[in-house]
Structure 1
């Protein structure tokens, strides 16, 4: 399943689009699927994966992202909201900018170690202290960049501290996947020149899940 760079790129892109979709839904409804959120936190806190398969253990958990990716690459991006597309592209852009900031990357690394410690203590990826820790990872690194990801939605939800922590956690998950995408050889120009190839692979993976 992860034999080729394309396989690894598509799984990573699915993670990016899943993060974007979950952020959009959370900002508008105040709700997020608990399994999807757990998948995000697990991916963030797996700091020393042995392979891509170690990070993407179950393609089924990335089914929403694969579907959104496939739909986004279809003609005119039919069925995918403008906000989701904006978040996905912003996540990729932010990861590229963050990777060039050595101090912020060092800060992120230290904060991730603390978040791992929180999970080891509470043994629950969805414990409020673990989510607070993953949100701090984002807040103390990504949020320091001049380029920000602007999330729009219901102000009543976005101003809720617990929901804001989940939004930051999901964005960090997307950034983690963007890093994996680049490490697999992913580049933005591929959205133009290899659009059909990526879409077909996403469709193939969805068919395998179904």
Structure 2
């Protein structure tokens, strides 16, 4: 995988899209189906030639790229920033635990086998991804505490969506690290990443 600002910006956009959808589910009890599908697809795509291919192209990351550009220019979304930082910390811990990584890879492979019978966003697939998150990432610290409306958070299908999206956030965090992203990259490469996010947005069809 290339280690360029382009690859890193795409991976960050994936994290931002996943965390934004977590917030949508937590506060509104709903999610944009197409954006949700892109996040879930990224989990299933373990072997891809480049970062863009993991998301099936850039067009499905419009929301994430928009949020990324906005936040790099003028940070406002403190809640999304907290989720993002926690995901990056958890990914580093996951990458250091080979047994847990293997368990996750096997789990994703088993879930992928069900796609012959269920659509990617079907509740059975989402519930399986949520269970995989609970069995793996939830064992690590810090545990991500999601804020929201209890009326939505207490519904099992929404809890499953949130865990599946956090798993997608971890997948994008893996891509961020593989593309050369690290603790200081956001600080040292902020302007370069902003330029790249804007360029990528500009390349999308209106």
For each residue in 1:90-130, what CA deviation from the matched residue of structure 2 results, as whole angstroms up to 9, or x when unmatched?
111111111112222222122111211121232x1011111
1:190 matched to 2:189: no
- For 1:56-205, what aligned pairs fall within 5 Å after superposition? 56-75=55-74, 77=75, 80-122=76-118, 124-205=119-200
Shift of residue 3, structure 1, vs aligned partner:
6.8
Structure 2 CA distance for partners of 1:26 and 1:193, relative to 1, 3 Å: same
> Structure 1 CA distance, aligned partners of 2:55 and 2:30?
23
For each residue in 1:136-175, what CA deviation from the matched residue of structure 2 results, as whole angstroms up to 9, or x when unmatched?
1211100011321111101111111101111011111111
In structure 1, the gaps of 5 or more residues are none
**Pairwise CA RMSD:** 1.6
TM, length-normalised to structure 2: 0.94
In structure 2, the gaps of 5 or more residues are none
Shift of residue 132, structure 1, vs aligned partner:
1.1
Runs of 4+ in 1 over 4 A off after TM superposition: none
SS in 1 for 2:117: helix
TM, length-normalised to structure 1: 0.92
Contact 1:114–1:133 under 8 Å retained in 2: no
Contact 2:8–2:180 under 8 Å retained in 1: yes
Shift of residue 84, structure 1, vs aligned partner:
1.0
